[in-house]
């Protein structure tokens, strides 16, 4: 992706094993059942291998890198 650093996105894995880079600011909801479904603010959905808890961890890590830790001054 031209002009974009890899740290600007999180990496998830489609069910077919293909990695996908995702701007986590576009995530509207994540549903974890047999498969994990990520719904974006655009209305598009992704079905990925990562469980809900792992996606949550990746998003939190991303936000901490961008905005810093809360209360860390």
What is the helix (H) or strand (E) element at residue 23, kind and residue range? none
Which structure tokens are listed for 15? 């069910």
Cα dihedral 50, 51, 53, 59, rounded to 10, equals 30
Domain-by-domain residue ranges, the chain?
6-67
pTM for the model:
0.79
Task: Tell me which of 5 and 23 has the higher pLDDT.
Answer: 23
pLDDT digits (tens, 9 = 90+) for 21-68: 999 999 999 999 888 999 999 999 999 999 999 999 999 999 888 888
b/e 31-67 (16+ beta carbons within 10 angstroms → b): ebeeebebeeeeeeebebebeeeebeebbeebeeeee
Under CATH, to which class is 6-67 assigned? mainly beta
- Please give the pLDDT value at position 65: 86
- Please give the pLDDT value at position 3: 47
- Please give the pLDDT value at position 8: 74
């Amino acid at each position: 992706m031209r002009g974009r650093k890899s740290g600007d996105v999180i990496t998830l894995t489609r069910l077919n094993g293909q990695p996908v880079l995702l701007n986590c600011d576009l995530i509207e909801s994540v549903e974890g059942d047999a498969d994990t479904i990520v719904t974006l603010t655009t209305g598009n959905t992704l079905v990925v291998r990562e469980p809900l808890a792992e996606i949550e961890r990746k998003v939190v890590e991303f936000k901490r890198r961008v905005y810093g830790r809360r209360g860390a001054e």
